[in-house]
Chain A
Amino acid sequence: MSERATKASRVGAVIAVLALVAFTTMPWWGESSWMRTFVEFACLLTLAQMWNLLAGYGGVVSIGQQAFLGLGAYALFVLADHAQVNPFLCVPLAGLVAAIIAWPTAKVVFRLRGGYFAVGTWVVAEVYRLLIANASFLGGGSGKSLAAVRPFTKAVRESVTYWIALTLVVSAIAFLYLLLRSRHGLALTAIRDSERAAASQGIDVEATKLWVYIASAAGCGVAGALYYLNTVRVSPDAAFNVGWTAYIIFIVVIGGIGTIEGPILGTLIFFSLREALADYGSVYLIVLGAVAVLVMVKFPRGLWGYVQQRFDLRFFPVQRRAATGATALGARPATSGTRN
């Protein structure tokens, strides 16, 4: 007998519905700059959730997801400007493009393991960056602007982009929540905790990791397309920059890896820090880096993980509780060695 909803999650659900109404109507009562910031927030949050899905739940640590961000962004520009597809429709299509390219990519990178896999994904991102930078029809190294949005008024462009962003945030969170509640989610946490044990239970570890990698790539592709739809201009150095991964990792680590609430908290902290230290140039990155290092060493489960442990608070009930109240999923790594 297991119980999933907690009081906190019920309260959280009410707040969420109210917030959703407020956010949906923002184009009518909000300013342009708020909507642009929200779009940026939505992109980073989605990227963070995608990385969290891969690393925090799937146990696959990639530092090359910027590859799919860039590919998604360029998919938008190619489909909209060269294939005359409606630019707004290109955003979800970009996710599809990224997913398609992710499949052969996975075949190559999954030949590496652990830390080597991580750096391998980075190399792959660099390959995509260089290939696009060398393609003059894509604007080469200096990039290009999105001509396809010119027919639309600024108000329409901003509002529709904003709504896409809102839809993305809600769907990404909903997708994660539903996935993790399902048996696939259980399979994922099993793989993260111990690949061998999971395999012995009949879980196809390789296939699951592949699917998670592709799903994560799709999410990153959509976020990339959305981000550059918002800025209307793209370049390979910007879209494929490893700095994206730096931001994402910091967000997830500081917020709380392996939780749905963590990346949300992390993205909020990221934006606040950026605002607070805006006048100090790259100092905010040093601070961010230092905080991430500190958090990783002292609070490996991030700030939300700490709160969760201390106060047993959960807005998204995805963990299964045994009827006795004890959580089924352990918090500590397994001890090795024989009991003797």
Chain B
Amino acid sequence: MIGWLDTVIQGILLGGLYALFAMGLSLIFGVMRLVNIAHGDLIVLAAYLALVVVDATGLGPLNALVICVPAMFVLGYVLQRGLLNFTLGGDILPPLLVTFGLSVIIQNALLQTFSADPRALRLGGVETGSFHLGAGIAVGYFPLLVLGVAVALTGALELLFAHVPLGRAFRATSDDPEAVQLMGVNDRHVYGLAMGIALAIVAVAAVFYGIRTTFAPTDGPDRLLFAFEAVIIGGLGSFSGTLAGGIVLGVAQTIGFRLDPGWGVLTGHLAFLAVLLFKPTGLFPRTR
């Protein structure tokens, strides 16, 4: 019994990381209905960026965020305005295919630059520290930090969208990209900002990811799938939903892993498919 409780708790903690993977994806789904196939590869790219920054400056990986977050924000803005904005406009094929192409380019460019060897970001021991909840359940400091950041970020995004002019502009652009221009909102710029914010979140997710496990150039697709599943399980249009979706996915995977190490990821996929079958709009969708 305690074993199962421990499993669920570890799953919730893992879910925090998945929620971070998913948050950026949820944002751009919401603002521009863009499915970015390269999202997972951008997480991996950001992890390698952090690695480079750490090696070059001697900063710890968390401190390196000071450089990585703005850098990824700029990358996101430039990518959106320089390439992805041209794919938007009704047809679903161009953004899908262009981001698919980007995914392949990023993976192979990383392979050429860094080789296929798994790498890691080190936090100097804190990543393995934990405190005990009693009855033999250990809660790691680091996973708890990740979950905490995920919750805080969810709250910040909800606040942004509800009360800040830019957030209103995001919602309005998503409702009617043409009418919003009549309000003086530069939709090209707004899309750029949205992607910039999404990749800034990716930078945070990437550093946590790189600390928690090793990473390699071909890890992107799995991160995309987990992020995507978290968003769909949670329900489109809600950051709290995405947080919940990430946690549900994390719990599903850890339960599956406990049953059989080969079943971890598969159980997550099956949970996703189950939600699709029985509650296609997700567990906590925001009704529009």
Any A–B CB pair closer than 8 Å: yes
- Taking the nearest CB of chain B, how far is it from the CB of A2, in angstroms? 27
Q: How many residues belonging to B are interface residues under a CB distance threshold of 8 Å? A: 44
* Complex contact A286–B272 (CB within 8 A): no
* Complex contact B280–A111 (CB within 8 A): yes
Please, could you name 16 A-B residue pairs with CB atoms under 8 Å apart, sorted by A? A63-B96, A109-B276, A114-B33, A115-B92, A119-B37, A122-B225, A127-B266, A130-B265, A134-B266, A249-B100, A285-B104, A289-B108, A293-B101, A296-B87, A296-B97, A297-B86
* Complex contact A115–B104 (CB within 8 A): no
Q: Mark B191-233, 1 if CB is under 8 A from A, else 0.
A: 0000000000000000000000000000001001100110010
Residues of B within 8 A of A288 (CB): 104
* Complex contact A283–B94 (CB within 8 A): no
Q: Mark A54-69, 1 if CB is under 8 A from B, else 0.
A: 0100000101000000
Query: Which B residues fall within an 8 A CB radius of A?
Result: 33-35, 37, 83, 86-87, 90-98, 100-105, 108-109, 111-112, 221, 224-225, 228-229, 232, 260, 262-263, 265-266, 269-270, 272-273, 276-277, 280
Select which of A61, A111, A134 is within 8 A of B96 by beta carbon.
Answer: A61
| Interface status of A171 (Cβ within 8 A of chain B) | no
Residues of B within 8 A of A250 (CB): 101
* Complex contact A111–B277 (CB within 8 A): yes
* Complex contact B225–A290 (CB within 8 A): no
* Complex contact A282–B269 (CB within 8 A): no
- Taking the nearest CB of chain B, how far is it from the CB of A301, in angstroms? 11
Given A127-B266, A283-B112, A286-B109: A119 in contact with B224 (beta carbons within 8 A): yes
Given A115-B33, A118-B35: A289 in contact with B273 (beta carbons within 8 A): no
* Complex contact B280–A297 (CB within 8 A): no
- In Å, the complex CA distance between A111 and B278 comes to 10
Chain A interface mostly? helix
- Taking the nearest CB of chain A, how far is it from the CB of B36, in angstroms? 9
A residues 287-314 with Cβ under 8 Å of B?
A: 288-290, 292-293, 296-297, 300
Q: Which 10 A-B pairs have the closest CB atoms?
A: A115-B35, A289-B104, A293-B101, A289-B105, A130-B266, A282-B108, A289-B101, A292-B101, A285-B108, A111-B280
- In Å, the complex CA distance between A130 and B276 comes to 19
* Complex contact B225–A123 (CB within 8 A): yes
| Interface status of A333 (Cβ within 8 A of chain B) | yes
| Interface status of A197 (Cβ within 8 A of chain B) | no
- Taking the nearest CB of chain B, how far is it from the CB of A56, in angstroms? 9
**Residue among B96, B100, B228 with the highest chain A CB neighbour number at 10 A:** B100
Residues of A within 8 A of B91 (CB): 333
Residues of A within 8 A of B33 (CB): 114-115
* Complex contact B100–A63 (CB within 8 A): yes
* Complex contact B269–A300 (CB within 8 A): no
* Complex contact B105–A127 (CB within 8 A): no
- In Å, the complex CA distance between A293 and B228 comes to 22
| Interface status of A131 (Cβ within 8 A of chain B) | yes
- B95 and chain A: residue at smallest CB distance: A115
* Complex contact B108–A114 (CB within 8 A): no
* Complex contact A116–B266 (CB within 8 A): no
Select which of B108, B232, B266 is within 8 A of A283 by beta carbon.
Answer: B108
- Taking the nearest CB of chain A, how far is it from the CB of B167, in angstroms? 23
| Interface status of A158 (Cβ within 8 A of chain B) | no
Interface bracket on A:
35 or more
Residues of B within 8 A of A40 (CB): none
* Complex contact A242–B221 (CB within 8 A): yes
| Interface status of A94 (Cβ within 8 A of chain B) | no
* Complex contact A296–B111 (CB within 8 A): no
| Interface status of A8 (Cβ within 8 A of chain B) | no
Given A119-B224, A297-B87, A300-B94: A108 in contact with B273 (beta carbons within 8 A): yes
* Complex contact B37–A63 (CB within 8 A): yes
- In Å, the complex CA distance between A111 and B272 comes to 12
- In Å, the complex CA distance between A134 and B101 comes to 30
Residues of B within 8 A of A108 (CB): 273, 276-277
Select which of A122, A124, A296 is within 8 A of B273 by beta carbon.
Answer: A124
* Complex contact A296–B108 (CB within 8 A): no
- Taking the nearest CB of chain A, how far is it from the CB of B249, in angstroms? 12
- In Å, the complex CA distance between A109 and B91 comes to 20
Select which of B98, B112, B262, B266 is within 8 A of A297 by beta carbon.
Answer: B98
- In Å, the complex CA distance between A257 and B111 comes to 30
| Interface status of A281 (Cβ within 8 A of chain B) | yes
- A258 and chain B: residue at smallest CB distance: B93
| Interface status of A126 (Cβ within 8 A of chain B) | yes
- In Å, the complex CA distance between A82 and B272 comes to 33
Residues of B within 8 A of A253 (CB): 97
* Complex contact B96–A115 (CB within 8 A): yes
- A133 and chain B: residue at smallest CB distance: B262
A residues 261-276 with Cβ under 8 Å of B?
A: none
- A280 and chain B: residue at smallest CB distance: B112
| Interface status of A72 (Cβ within 8 A of chain B) | no
* Complex contact A296–B94 (CB within 8 A): yes
* Complex contact A286–B108 (CB within 8 A): yes
Residues of B within 8 A of A61 (CB): 92-93, 96
